[in-house]
Structure 1
Amino acid sequence: MAETEALFSLLRQTADPAAAMAIERVVRHGADRALNRINVLAFAAREGLDEEAAIAAFLHAAHLGLFDLSWNVLCPGCGGVLDANATLGTLDRSSYSCTLCAAGYEPTLDEMVEVTFTVNPRVRQIAAHEPDRLPMHEYFRQIFWSSGVDLPDEIEAQLDEIIIEAIELPPGEKALLSLQLPRGFIIVFDPVTHSVQFIDADSEETRERRSLSLVIDAVHAPNETVRLQPGPLRLTLENRTGRRVLPGLFIAGEALHTLIGRRRPFLTAKRLLSNQTFRDIYRTETLNVDQRLKITSLTFLFTDLKGSTRLYERVGDLAAFDLVREHFRVLGDIVAAEAGAIVKTIGDAVMATFPTPERAVAAALRMREAMRSLNAAHGSEDLVLKIGLHEGPCLAVSLNERQDYFGQTVNIASRVQGLAESQAIYATGSVVERPEVSSLLARTGLTPLARRRALRGIDDEVTLYEIP
């Protein structure tokens, strides 16, 4: 207990005070399930916290050992967790399949990988630390479905409407269920191994008893859909795994679709990788050198100081260094405030990422104004910033022991910045043409000016927008 008290004390010193207090409250008094796979965005909304402050606080709490991070690969269809990883570096499969949805997916960091936080067992023991002892409805809530599925508090009653029959089957054991198979599409499914058997019972009812067997093992290879007439069914279930399983017969109808169809925002891996606190704390603990993880949409912002060489000649190394360092500090604060992260600095240039184009444009506008304020404070025009923005797909990679990005989107963003003039913001159509960006510019009274320009390495000219 003394160790935990010391960790909470450190958290209050490093994180937003309100967020730290909310975390301490839930650890001390929250229900068990409230401390397993915490959806930080839902937590922030419930506690009235700023999302970025809540994310940073949980990252600090995890770094201190109060929580464990989990990088969960999700099925876009049913919201089930297909794979749970303690680190992003262990997410090394090129494809995942969901047996419940009978679909395969190539993982992306946008909406298919969530990041959740579970209280460390040294801080507080909760039921989910021993998932094989959870009752079926809590196993579904806390283990099978992701934090993005907005489940009701009383999930047991809703599952009872969907489940015809269910059983807890210990390892190595066999069970025989006798039941009345209703008309419709029925799924025999085990949430532990994801073993599945589809039954198409959409035909005329019979009084003759049918038999069906399902072996549950670690492979859970997909089975062909079985066509059976509604009526008496003898179902044999055999558990060939080394752990308890929870097979049940589910009616694939409106009630099931309604249950899993309610979704809520969750913390994606893409958003976390573009979070400055995460990059500062977990600088070398993200991707393995051989990993290439896809992101379908990320916004890149590049800046550079115009005439910095002449600045050093004019005011001297020491004064110029202080100015440039101040410029880096201001840009870093703005990037973090707009939910972005600085990937790296190259000389006097900055490469930053943002989860959405509107946050990147907001940051660019604030950067330009900040440079004007710095120049006014120093009575000069020494800090002249050029900014370029582009959005698109990319790969998250590890380069030089640092999490970085690779791809044509990165190249285009860099070259767009290279075309920018003094104090200009240049952006591509994929940024400016977003409705959220259009609304932002309209609110600030700015009208982007379109122009066709050639980019090195790009065959055709592209339309760029100058934000005056």
Structure 2
Amino acid sequence: MNEIETMFGALRQAADEDVVDMLERMVRDAPDHGLNRMNPLDLAARANLAGERVIAGLLHAVSLGMLEMTWSVMCPSCAGVLSANKSLKTLNSAQYNCGFCAAGYETTLDDLVEVTFTVSPRLRKIAAHSPDELSLADYYRQVFWSSAIDLPDDLEKTLREVTLDAVDLPPGERAILSLNVPQGTLIVFDPVTHAAQFLDVRGEEAGERQNLSVTFNKVPVPVDTIALRPGPLRLTLENRTDGRVLPAVWVGSPALDDVLTRRKPFLTARRLLTNQTFRDLYRTDTLAIGQRLKILSLTFLFSDLKDSTALYDRVGDLVAFDLVNEHFRLLQEIIASERGAIVKTIGDAVMATFETPDRAIAAAIRMREAMSDLGADREHQSLRLKMGIHEGSCLAVTLNGQQDYFGQTVNVASRVQGLAASRSIVVTESVVENAETRALLEANGLDPTHRTVALSGIADKVSVYEIP
């Protein structure tokens, strides 16, 4: 048995068989670009598989050295990759700027950071493993644009339509382009350094040749606009980096706009951080000590067993221990199935995160029923969960050696859980106002009861809703 067969054999022990079969077929038959920066949600849709199963399978493949994981900061406007990182630990900038769009974005994990997977050279060598050898069209497809953009199969043809001229410029070299620039908006752009120069071409035809110089280096410079007149232009391009650059002169057109607006779902860093398989594999190696990354919206669920101390007194330590362990197993199974993850347990309490409020509500309803069934099955009817849910912004941090969360949203969620009585689920207004949450509650015939409460350590009173 060779190394590749051994790796796939190990993967079959950890991941869903259908996902392993899909990956094995891809490694054998897919074109090179199909194995570079793979979008797990797109793969799942194409193979008619559950997204979480595909994500879990790819994560296990990473742990076995079969795939490489990339965390890319992407521009939400053009979907270009602004920074590609092997881990979250190197995302250390508070803001990233896109030269192509002349815009800056605060670094958040919600929709700005995508996670993709690339085949390891151990499994198969692909062109993207040597990006300096890619053609201009392939560089845009495989390096510059993220997996969030649905690129056409004939991308090279589309780029030819919007490109006035382009050059592959080695390090330290200079190129001179003689162009006849049309009226409109043009952009001199290099996808390697992300340097951009906008040209506003308008007015009467120039009687003499115009001159413009653009230098590419690793020092980011503000993007500005230069006014030119239609007609002849001598464009000097100089590469002062230690690698090649791929500058091109693009003409704004509907064809370019069409490429930039074609989008598809992608795996965000926020969603991956709420994936149970990811937390199980990488709970101690996600963020650097002292690193803080902002999440604009994350949903927290806190649960605790009601009167667990009395349970130990009533049934004895051994039986109670087995019950509590079974309770943790059921909760983790339900939370993971609703695309959530357990962050930590404290005694009999659980802290979990979900990408959206409706997933947390769905999990809470199932968890409540599961505890009732467990109590009835084991003849301990008092096995009840108290649960609280809140949604809001937070910081992803490392605490006590593992990836955790910090902020007022976490504090409120914890205190809301303390308001819950036996079997009740207490949620905040931001959770109930979510459209998917409202639809879920209506479908289950649940009518939350509103009240306003004061929470310890929270200055203003908080609107909460109790789900019976």
Q: State the alpha-carbon separation in 2 of the partners of residues 73 and 388 from structure 1.
A: 33
What is the aligned partner in structure 2 of residue 232 from structure 1? Answer: 232
Q: CA deviation at 1:323?
A: 0.6
Q: State the alpha-carbon separation in 1 of the partners of residues 220 and 295 from structure 2.
A: 29
Q: Which moved more, 1:339-348 or 1:86-95?
A: 86-95
What is the aligned partner in structure 2 of residue 115 from structure 1? Answer: 115
SS of 1:137 mapped into structure 2: helix
Gaps of 5+ in 2: none
Q: Which moved more, 1:101-110 or 1:350-359?
A: 101-110
Q: Does 2:91 match 1:55? A: no
Q: Does 2:43 match 1:43? A: yes
Q: CA deviation at 1:393?
A: 0.2
What is the aligned partner in structure 1 of residue 178 from structure 2? Answer: 178
SS of 1:350 mapped into structure 2: strand
What is the aligned partner in structure 2 of residue 66 from structure 1? Answer: 66
What is the aligned partner in structure 2 of residue 134 from structure 1? Answer: 134
Q: Does 2:376 match 1:379? A: no
Q: State the alpha-carbon separation in 2 of the partners of residues 222 and 230 from structure 1.
A: 25
Q: CA deviation at 1:153?
A: 1.0
Q: For residue 404 of structure 1, what is the amino acid of its counterpart?
A: D
Per-residue Cα deviation, 1:55-104 (whole angstroms, up to 9, x for no partner): 00000011101100001011112111111111111111122111111111
Per-residue Cα deviation, 1:15-55 (whole angstroms, up to 9, x for no partner): 01111110111011110000000011001101111000000
Q: Work out whether residues 168 and 246 of structure 1, in 8 Å CA contact, stay in contact via their aligned partners in 2.
A: yes
- When normalised by structure 1's length, the TM-score is 0.98
Q: Does 2:463 match 1:460? A: no
Q: CA deviation at 1:380?
A: 2.2
What is the aligned partner in structure 2 of residue 250 from structure 1? Answer: 250
SS of 1:257 mapped into structure 2: helix
Q: For residue 109 of structure 2, what is the amino acid of its counterpart?
A: L
What is the aligned partner in structure 1 of residue 208 from structure 2? Answer: 208
- When normalised by structure 2's length, the TM-score is 0.98
SS of 1:299 mapped into structure 2: strand
What is the aligned partner in structure 1 of residue 20 from structure 2? Answer: 20
Q: CA deviation at 1:223?
A: 4.6
Q: CA deviation at 1:206?
A: 2.2
Q: Work out whether residues 39 and 147 of structure 1, in 8 Å CA contact, stay in contact via their aligned partners in 2.
A: yes
Q: State the alpha-carbon separation in 1 of the partners of residues 233 and 332 from structure 2.
A: 65
Q: Work out whether residues 102 and 223 of structure 2, in 8 Å CA contact, stay in contact via their aligned partners in 1.
A: no
> Post-superposition, which runs of at least 4 consecutive aligned residues in structure 1 deviate over 6 A?
none
Q: State the alpha-carbon separation in 2 of the partners of residues 242 and 401 from structure 1.
A: 38
What is the aligned partner in structure 1 of residue 150 from structure 2? Answer: 150
SS of 1:78 mapped into structure 2: coil
SS of 2:203 mapped into structure 1: coil
Q: For residue 180 of structure 1, what is the amino acid of its counterpart?
A: N
What is the aligned partner in structure 2 of residue 285 from structure 1? Answer: 285
Per-residue Cα deviation, 1:185-239 (whole angstroms, up to 9, x for no partner): 1100011111211111022222321111111111141353110001111111111
What is the aligned partner in structure 1 of residue 82 from structure 2? Answer: 82
What is the aligned partner in structure 2 of residue 421 from structure 1? Answer: 421
Q: State the alpha-carbon separation in 1 of the partners of residues 394 and 32 from structure 2.
A: 38
Gaps of 5+ in 1: none
Q: State the alpha-carbon separation in 2 of the partners of residues 351 and 242 from structure 1.
A: 48
What is the aligned partner in structure 2 of residue 93 from structure 1? Answer: 93
Q: Work out whether residues 196 and 220 of structure 1, in 8 Å CA contact, stay in contact via their aligned partners in 2.
A: no
Q: Does 2:169 match 1:169? A: yes
What is the aligned partner in structure 1 of residue 241 from structure 2? Answer: 241
Q: Work out whether residues 427 and 465 of structure 1, in 8 Å CA contact, stay in contact via their aligned partners in 2.
A: yes
Q: State the alpha-carbon separation in 2 of the partners of residues 6 and 459 from structure 1.
A: 58
SS of 1:160 mapped into structure 2: helix
- Identity rate, percent: 59
Q: State the alpha-carbon separation in 2 of the partners of residues 193 and 222 from structure 1.
A: 13
Q: For residue 306 of structure 1, what is the amino acid of its counterpart?
A: K
Q: State the alpha-carbon separation in 1 of the partners of residues 225 and 179 from structure 2.
A: 19
> Superposition pairs for residues 285-434 of structure 1, below 5 Å?
285-434=285-434
SS of 1:441 mapped into structure 2: helix
Q: For residue 384 of structure 2, what is the amino acid of its counterpart?
A: V
Q: State the alpha-carbon separation in 1 of the partners of residues 89 and 215 from structure 2.
A: 33
Q: What's the RMSD between the two structures over aligned residues? A: 1.0
Q: State the alpha-carbon separation in 2 of the partners of residues 385 and 347 from structure 1.
A: 14
What is the aligned partner in structure 2 of residue 102 from structure 1? Answer: 102
Per-residue Cα deviation, 1:157-182 (whole angstroms, up to 9, x for no partner): 11111111111111111111111101
Q: For residue 407 of structure 2, what is the amino acid of its counterpart?
A: G
Q: State the alpha-carbon separation in 1 of the partners of residues 256 and 222 from structure 2.
A: 21
Q: CA deviation at 1:255?
A: 2.2
What is the aligned partner in structure 2 of residue 199 from structure 1? Answer: 199
Q: For residue 152 of structure 1, what is the amino acid of its counterpart?
A: P
Q: State the alpha-carbon separation in 2 of the partners of residues 220 and 460 from structure 1.
A: 44
What is the aligned partner in structure 1 of residue 272 from structure 2? Answer: 272
SS of 1:419 mapped into structure 2: coil
SS of 1:286 mapped into structure 2: coil
Q: State the alpha-carbon separation in 1 of the partners of residues 75 and 261 from structure 2.
A: 13
What count of residue pairs does the alignment treat as equivalent? 468
What is the aligned partner in structure 2 of residue 444 from structure 1? Answer: 444
Q: For residue 38 of structure 2, what is the amino acid of its counterpart?
A: I
What is the aligned partner in structure 2 of residue 218 from structure 1? Answer: 218
Q: Which moved more, 1:142-151 or 1:89-98?
A: 89-98
